[in-house]
Amino acid sequence: MNMWVRQIHRWLSMAFTAGVLAYIVAMGQGQPPAWLGLFALLPLILLLVSGLYLFALPHAARWRSGGRAISQSESNGRQAAAPPGWVP
């Protein structure tokens, strides 16, 4: 699902850019219609939602793992060495 959200976020950014460029071109030809400003607003709102989701992903993963960061040695399947003076 994360890959879908990332892909949608990329396409939304292109739609937002196209909407802003269309609005700039319309402004160059006179007063643009009001609905044209909303044309860029919809992708912007969807970008906000998908961006917040993508921002929260690493924090949610840390929260699900019990609040501890996974070290490099644990991710390789080896046991991490205990710090000096640590007693189980």
For residue range 10-49, list pLDDT tens digits in order: 999 999 999 999 999 999 999 988 888 888 899 999 999 9
pLDDT of residue 83: 64
pLDDT of residue 34: 85
Q: Is residue 64 packed enough to be buried (19+ CB in 10 Å), middle (13-18) or exposed (0-12)? A: exposed
Rounded to 10 deg, the angle between the 34-64 and 2-28 helix axes is 160
